[in-house]
A and B are shown apart, each in its own frame.
Chain A
Amino acid sequence: MAEAIIRGQPQVGGGAGRGDFPDGGLGDPDRGGGVPPGTVRRTYRTGMGLALLGISMLFVAFTSAYIVRSGLSNDWQPVELPPLVWWNTGALLASSITMELTRRALNSGLRAQCNRWLAATAALGLAFLVGQWGVWRQLSGHGIFLDTNPSSSFFYLLTASHALHLLGGLLALLYIVSEAWRYRLGPAKRTLVEVTAIYWHFMDGLWVYILLLLWFWR
């Protein structure tokens, strides 16, 4: 999803029934026309918001299935979360902070700092995914597999779905890193960083939500 959004260049047009044109307009003054400033940025933000709404619905559906299924039968044995989960959570929360620092550095034009924080975010994201892999290995080492009981089924399902979405965000980050290294991260790409940051923070929040669900609804 994230990759697709990067590649699709929004077309421009008038905006939202409002007409804040630059002085003199960009098209035929009689018929209006031209590009109101900020349209591209706005479409990216709207699109990302809607994508997150769709993703939320996916996890809402999983949650309702989780709650219903947990109340259905007596074969539900809550998964004991390995301590590694908390380290992973720490890494992901830290990556949100570095993501925010990236955005601020970019906005104030501190390119070197921005690149550093960007690399840190990507590294922390990668660390989280590797850590999640480690959690799976630990669980399967204890004989808890996908089909062991419904609780473990949901544990693997929720963590895998989240990891897959985070991987999308990580790919977007790596793309930005590669652009930044080649000094191509101009002002136009700021929107890209911005929506990736929104996505990243959302994935962070989503993870906290999943963790709370797994922790409190056993």
Chain B
Amino acid sequence: MDHKVIGIQYWFLALLSVFVGMALSLYMRLRLAWPSGSFPFMGEGPMTPETYLSLLTMHGTIMVFFVLTTAPQGGFGNYVLPIQIGAADMAFPFLNMMSFWTTLLGFFVIIAAFFVSGGAPTGGWTGYPPLSAVGEIAGPGQGLGQTLWIVSIAIFAVGSLLGSLNFITTTIDLRAKGMSLMRMPLTVWTWFVTSILMLLSFAVLLAAGILLLMDRELGTSFFIPAGLVISEQVINHKGGSPLLWQHLFWFFGHPEVYIAILPGMGVTSQILSTFARKPIFGYRAMVYAIVAIGALGFFVWGHHMFISGLSPYSGLIFSMVTLTIGVPSAIKTFNWLGTLWGGQIRFATPMLYAIGFVSLFVSGGLSGPFLGQSSLDLYLHDTYFVVAHFHLVMGVAAIFGMFAGTVYWFPKMFGRMMNETLGKIHFWITFVGVYAIFMPMHYIGIAGHPRRYADTTAVDYLAALQPVHEFISIAAIITIAAQLFFVINFFWSLYRGPKASENPWEATTLEWTVPSPPPHDNFGGRTPVVYRGPYEYSVPGASQDYIMQTTPDTMVRGAK
């Protein structure tokens, strides 16, 4: 029931999931580049379009829920948040443990969907009705596989609700003496805001999941319209609306994007400040930007539905609110650059990943204003442009945040350092690799290549783009292979890495005042007292270039 153990459990669940998700994407890339090839474990002959769609669905679902939601929040948040605010554990350790086991159960249920009759669902990670609501008639995977998908997501939602409740209570009530809100590290701010988003959005997803399950299993018609004919059979439901699902789903789905990316922003801020040996540029502006992104995230869900028959007037409103999010995002980016400017930068691997995060966030974010306008989105929405956009800005950027967090907190979690050389090799191949994968997708998207299709060989105007697909797939294979460096580095360092000191990065926050790894109750029975903000680096007149949050003013000058 120790929060640190639970954090590590979440982290390993995410590691397992990310490799499952990556393997699925590898098969999709193989299918796209070499349509007629046959691949190991995929049966004889070319892969069927149904198989491709099930890979697509499961890749999206596993990555979004069990990686992007699990590792940054459940993993690092659980491990680090209580220590950073000076608490001995989460407010409700039992609830915390329940939240992990619930999530793990959800993972087993989604994996089970591969092995049931009919196979994995093909409805995409958004599970749009009516095809997700009518059962096997919509395709083999839409039978039991789709049911398991909904059940898994509902279980995951419950687990996330328990977890977020715990995070918020801990942050509100268990802060150490002196740890005022404006002295919290930005990581704590992002976990805190993320938890609020989770609490408010996952309950809505749960409601939507229940309604969809009732449509499938109990004969109700919430989402299924009248007069539907699928595979030449009339569906015996009436009066429902698929749009209703889309509204409920995206009311969850857009905050979910920020649930994935906000913790990465927090880690990046923390690391940039530490390794540039400068206070974070504009701490308060950063806090307000985090809160603004979280709040605005609840009012933009409609921009996922521009081409779903949404009224153009609502589209216009959603479009304007969406573009507004560019403001806090730009504030954050400028503050990160401001933090780097003139710093005495130490290029250790956590810093590289953090800079990589900023780079990917900007590259992926810049296509946001294109897609945020409903008029442009009409053209781009169903193309690879969108695939490129969200993979860069919330997929790979968040993954780089996780890499950064892993290398940064590894000494604290396991008491040893990770290997710098292997880390740098991994960083450069991955960094160049993801750009090689996703940048060309912008291009084929603008050229009009639709997404989600397994096979476009019969389409004349796309034939010229096939070499680009081959290039992307080769880049993907190399990048995926390079992940071995990370895994080898991780497990080798776990047993053979050099022993870490209490504060190897010379950082200032509370987790670096305790032994690596920390004892069961973190602070050995004494809760710390906090005297200052989290990023006091290179303070003029101080004896060291960093001042711990627990150092009283009298000690700063006195030790000179």
Contact = CB atoms under 8 A, between A and B. Distances in A.
A153 interface: yes
A90 to B, nearest CB: 29
Interface size class of B (residues with CB under 8 A): 35 or more
Interface in A22-60: 27-28, 31-34, 39, 42-43, 46-47, 50-51, 53-60
A54 B173 contact: no
Contacts of B199: 50, 53-54, 57
A177 to B, nearest CB: 22
Nearest to B521: A11
B207 A47 contact: no
Interface string A5-24: 10111111111111101000
B207 A58 contact: yes
Given A69-B222, A69-B240, A73-B238, A4 B95 contact: yes
B90 interface: yes
A214 to B, nearest CB: 16
B181 to A, nearest CB: 7
A179 interface: no
A10 to B, nearest CB: 5
Interface in A64-86: 64-65, 68-69, 72-76
A185 interface: no
Contacts of A59: 207
A33 B208 contact: no
Contacts of B206: 58, 61
B203 A61 contact: yes
Given A16-B172, A43-B174, A54-B161, A32 B91 contact: no
B211 interface: yes
Given A61-B208, A69-B241, A19 B94 contact: no
A139 interface: no
Given A7-B94, A16-B175, A51-B165, A157 B214 contact: yes
Nearest to A33: B526
B241 A72 contact: yes
Interface residues of A, number: 55
Interface string B239-257: 1110010011001000000
A150 interface: yes
Given A46-B172, A47-B92, A14 B177 contact: yes
Nearest to A11: B89
Given A4-B94, A51-B165, A54-B203, A31 B175 contact: no
Given A47-B91, A68-B244, A73-B226, A14 B176 contact: yes
A61 B176 contact: no
A32 B204 contact: no
B238 A61 contact: no
B87 interface: yes
A9 B88 CA distance: 12
A11 B88 contact: yes
Contacts of B226: 73
A146 interface: yes
Contact of B94 (A8, A65, A69, A146): A8
Given A18-B177, A50-B199, A73-B239, A13 B526 contact: no
Nearest to B238: A75
B178 A17 contact: yes
B92 A150 contact: no
B193 interface: no
Nearest to B221: A150
B527 interface: yes
Contact of B219 (A54, A64, A147): A147
A5 B553 CA distance: 40
B240 A57 contact: no
B45 interface: no
Given A50-B169, A72-B241, A58 B203 contact: yes
Nearest to A20: B177
Given A43-B92, A51-B165, A58 B527 contact: no
Interface string B513-536: 000000001010111110000000
Given A57-B204, A58-B206, A69-B239, 16 more contacts: A11-B91, A13-B175, A14-B179, A27-B526, A32-B527, A33-B525, A33-B526, A43-B92, A46-B168, A54-B203, A57-B199, A57-B201, A65-B211, A69-B244, A146-B214, A153-B214
Interface of A: 1, 4-5, 7-19, 21, 27-28, 31-34, 39, 42-43, 46-47, 50-51, 53-62, 64-65, 68-69, 72-76, 146-147, 150, 153, 157, 161
7 contacts: A14-B175, A47-B95, A50-B169, A61-B207, A150-B220, A150-B240, A153-B220
Cβ-closest 9 pairs across A and B: A8-B94, A73-B239, A147-B219, A61-B207, A19-B177, A33-B526, A57-B203, A32-B529, A11-B89
